[in-house]
Amino acid sequence: MIDIKKQLQNINNSINQAEIKAQRSSGSVQLLAVSKTWPAATLRLAAQAGQNCFGENYLQEALVKIDELSELELEWHFIGPIQSNKTRDIAAHFDWVQSIDRLKIAQRLNDQRNEQQAVLNVCIQVNIDNENSKSGVNAENVISLAQQISQLSRLKLRGIMVIPTKTDHLSQQQSAFLRAHHLYSELQQQFPGIDTLSMGMTHDMQIAISAGSTMVRVGTGLFGQRLTPNV
């Protein structure tokens, strides 16, 4: 079995190296541990090694883990596609939602977020390469959606999340990340409290950090290859 503590150190070291290389301050990039398919016991090992933010894609699976690990005060990020009938549970159990791709979902999360809870942190998922098959808002529609979300009092708009087209071409990866960074800067100028550019995964986190990412979402690099393929 993979040594989670050691892997976590490795990932944090790579993040730190990438920050230095990009002349960015230490700690400017946060690590989100993407724990889909892994059981609560595995997450607990990561938590014991100091990781406290976890990203989950599937609601039912996540709810089991959130419940099992409730004594640990972890920060939970929903990063998967959202159907409207799932918003009530997401609003009740998560701290962040990074995959907002339409106003209706934002409105439902806002209406369903309990007054006793802190506001729900959200990011707009941007389809930065305008792929037909991909979820997310096209770049040209982000500002208007951000305007609408900023009116919702139970949500706090924190930034954007991007998953660029898979490619091995460095220049293509850089181009997508730089376009995302440009959009993020534009949002920062127009809205208060924008501080999150969620981009970069196991295989492209260094490039994402050099382009200005503030949060990398790492799954396989931390926990190993997922046993269920294509998730």
Ligand X SMILES: *Cc1c(COP(=O)(O)O)cnc(C)c1O
Residues that bind ligand X (CB under 6 A): 34, 36, 57, 79, 163, 201-202, 217-221
Question: What's the closest the beta carbon of residue 223 comes to ligand X, in angstroms?
Answer: 8
Please tell me the distance from the alpha carbon of residue 53 to that of residue 95, in angstroms, as a whole number.
10
Give the residue with the Cβ less far from ligand X, 188 or 202.
202
Q: Taking the complex as a whole, how short is the minimal distance between the CB of residue 27 and ligand X, in angstroms?
A: 21
Instruction: Identify which of residues 24 and 134 has a Cβ nearer to ligand X in the complex.
Output: 134
- Closest approach, Cβ 197 to ligand X, in A, equals 14
Q: Which residue is nearest to ligand X (CB)?
A: 219
Of 26, 73, 78, which Cα lies nearest the Cα of 47? 73
End-to-end CA distance of the chain: 20
How far lies 177's CA from each of 81, 109, 157, 198, 220, in Å?
Answer: 21, 28, 20, 10, 21
Taking the C-alpha atoms of residue 192 and residue 94, their distance in angstroms, rounded to an integer, is: 22
Q: How far is the CB of 36 from ligand X (least distance, A)?
A: 6
Q: Which two tokens stand for residue 108?
A: 């439902």
Q: Which two tokens stand for residue 192?
A: 């208060």
Which lies closer to ligand X via its Cβ, residue 123 or residue 154?
123
* Nearer of residues 36 and 154 to ligand X, judged by Cβ: 36
